Every structure is written in structure tokens, then in C-alpha cells.
Amino acid sequence: MSLKIKNLYARDIRFPTSMTLDGSDAMNPDPDYSAAYVVLETDSPDGVTGHGLAFTIGRGTDLCVAGIEAYKPLVLDVELDSITADFGRFWRVITGDSQLRWVGPEKGVIHLAAAAIVNAIWDLYAKVEGKPLWKLLVDMSPEELVSCIDFRHITDVLTRDEALDILERNIPTCAAREREMRERGYPAYTTSTGWLGYSDDKLRALCRESLSAGWSHFKIKVGGSVEDDIRRASIIREEIGPDKKLMMDANQIWDVDEAIAYMKQLAQFDPWWIEEPTSPDDVLGHAAIAKAIHPIGVATGECCHNRVMFKQFLQAGAMQFCQIDSCRLGGVNEILSVLLMAAKFGVPVCPHAGGVGLCEHVQHLAIFDYICVGASLEDRIAEYVDHLHEHFVDPVTMKDGHYMPPSRPGYSIEMKPESLDEHEFTNGPVWRDLRS
């Protein structure tokens, strides 16, 4: 008999990272890394549960919690087997609820809530199958993977048959890439050296520390005054040398013409890409910037609400680096469609991570993408931020700047009970102490 989902509950979990300015950038100067955290309880005799989260940065986490709870009637007493037998249909039930869609049709708070639930189901599915999520996906047939995808509104770019062709042509070489991942891991870059609120001395110290740990790709936050950006970029380029890759991230702060003007001044530091140079919804603006600042690439996607936005960015040549976010899109199902569209356009996928739990999530997605979809490491790299991993039951393992494939069953997103209790907002001990 298939196990059933018997309960769903969500918690508002927040970490006071604003006190140390971890995560600070041009648009978010004081983030408290947070999560609307969901647990799916089942009737399984061994007590197996599914865990997921929507990443947030403080106020508003309670809204995501309310969104998760609004989905409860669609999940309770549903058998896991009935979901996984036709995961695409279930995804459409969750994201297509006729009343909830009106408050956010595949975007905004309600889509973040859907992502948390969908990812919790994938975590549960992988645990039941006894596999880490990346391996569960790798072992699925092309037909099974494609059946998870909602192709509505993207068939002008990617059809079901095209998706099958991409997956099937990679099958003969998948095993070799899987061995490579187990031996070497997936390449990563660090953002931990370049938060906007860090002092110059801290920038230097963190660069030296990261270099000694084997890092070769570094990202710096920009978007303050151009003079400050030039000074900070000078420090990092001086510390890492001319041969290491340097990326920049404006976090949406500039207008289109302003972004072009700023990047012409910052081009002296040989940036590999500029990330989110303008509004994350401005497809044509990104395209204009990409054309004007070439050969510097444009990276974006962490704030794209859904697969349709990614479709348009790819169609317009507005992204040279595709940055999926594991919790912004509607969970694994929608991410599969973006990975396949990026493969068709030949655009490298470089997942966004950081925050709380995003690194734990995206390692699975990046490894699967390399083995089964993109099938290349050329210009591919995943973000890594060295914050808050100690709160997870199965935290990321890094080796020489690479994500090593997880071996524990699940999606690596389950948090330790004591961490949840201590950081629950507003009555966890951490927050009580801050109020006193």
C-alpha cells in the first residue's frame, strides 16, 4: 500500500544575518536569511517525512507560511504513488488551483509556497526510493522525466519530443559523467568574499582565505557608487590576481542605460559576467545590456518567477548564463523545463545559491543537469556561500571548490530539530534573546 500524506505544517524560521551583514547587496542591505519551512508527515510506519522550504530574507516569511497552509487541502490524504505516477498532472493541480491562481498565477508568494511543497514531495519521494535526489533524477527514464513537466506556454520553444531527444541523446555518456561527479564533484564559485556591507580589510582577508582553500572563481556585489565599486573591485582583483574569474552582481539596482555606463567603467577588472544588472522582469532591457557590454556576459534568473520568463530571456538572447533558483521556480518539475530549454539554446546553467538551504538544494540540480541534460562543464559553475550549513541534517560537502554529490536519501533540505526550534520567529530563543 502506498503511503499517504497525513499532515502538512509550516514554520517561520529566521536567522539574524543582518547583524553581520552576511548577504548584503545593493537592493537588500540588511537581510535576515529565512525560510518558510514545510514538513509533510505520512502514515508510513517508519515515520518518513518530506521537507521543503521557500527562501526569504526576513519580513514576509509569514506570508509564505500562510501560502503553504492555503495548499493544505490539495495535499492531505493524497497517496505518494498517485503523485509520482503522473507528477506533471499533480504539479498542475498545485499551481493551477482556480482560486489560488488569482493571487499569483505562477509567481509571487503563492508560487514560492507551491515550490516549498513540491520540493518537499520530491524529498519524500527520494527518501522512499532510498536515493539522493540527483540520483533519483538520473535513474529516471527520459519518458518519466518529461512526464513531470508542464509544457503549457513553452511549446513554441520546447516540445515534449524535443525534450525527449535532448535526454535520449545523452544516455550513452551519462555513466561516465556520473563517475566524474562522484570523483571530482561539480565546480563552484564563492560569493562569501564580496558582500556589499563588508569592510575593505574583511574583503582582503576573505579573499586570501578562499584562495588558500582552492577557490578560483569569485563574485563581488556591486551597485553602490561607482567609485566604491571600483575601489572594492580593485581590492579583490589585486588579491585574486589576473587569472582567476571575477563575477559581479548588481541585484537589479540599475536602469538599463545606467547599467551599461557602470559596466563600461567596471570592465577594466575583466568581469566574466554582470548578474541582474536591471529589473529581473525586463527581458528586453537585459538584451540591450548584453549587446552593449559584450564580451562581458549577462547572468540572470534567480528572481524569474516561472518557465515562461526563462523562455523569453532565452529567445531574446538576454542571458548568457542561466541562473535557476531552486525555490523561486515551482520546484523540481518547473526547473526541469528550464534546464531543457537552456540546453536547446546552448546557454550554460549556473545555479543561484547562498541564503539558507539553497546550496543544499542546487547541488542536486547542477549535478543532474551535467549528467543528463547539459552534458558539459564548459562555462558551468554553481554558486556557493559558506553560511548556515551547520543547521542541516545533510549539509553540503565541498572539496577543492567543488560540490561533492550527496549520498544520503532525499533532497538534503531537512533541518535539525534544534535549529528549527531555536530560530522560529518570533518566539524561538534566538529571537527572544534579541528582544531582551
Q: Which residues are catalytic?
A: 221, 352
Q: What angle do CA 119, 122, 126 make, to 5 degrees?
A: 145
Counting Cβ atoms within 10 Å, is residue 429 exposed (0-12), middle (13-18) or buried (19+)?
exposed
Q: Choose among 13, 34, 9: nearest CA to 22.
A: 34
- Largest separation between any pair of C-alpha atoms in the chain: 65
Specify the DSSP class assigned to residue 269: G
Beta strands in 43-164 (DSSP E): 49-56
Residue ranges with strand state E in 57-159 = none
Cell 538551504 belongs to 357
What phi, psi does 245 have (nearest 5°)? -80, 135
Cis upstream peptide for 426 (omega within 30°): yes
DSSP single-letter state for residue 347: P
CB 339 within 8 A of CB 307: no
Cα–Cα distance measured from residue 247 to residue 276, given in angstroms and rounded to the nearest whole number: 12
Q: Determine the length of the chain.
A: 436
Q: Which of 361, 350, 289, 298 is nearest to 324 (CA)?
A: 350
Helices (H) and strands (E) in the chain, counts: 17, 12
Report CA torsion sign: 70, 71, 74, 77: negative
Asked if 314 and 283 count as a contact pair (C-beta separation under 8 A), the reply is no
Grid cell 513531470 in the structure block, residue: 148
Annotate 18-33 with DSSP letters as a single string: GGTTTT--SS-SS---
> Which contiguous run of DSSP H or E holds residue 145?
helix 142-146
For residue 390, with 0-12 CB atoms within 10 Å meaning exposed, 13-18 middle and 19 or more buried, which class applies? exposed
Rounded-to-10 torsion of CA 314, 316, 317, 321: -40
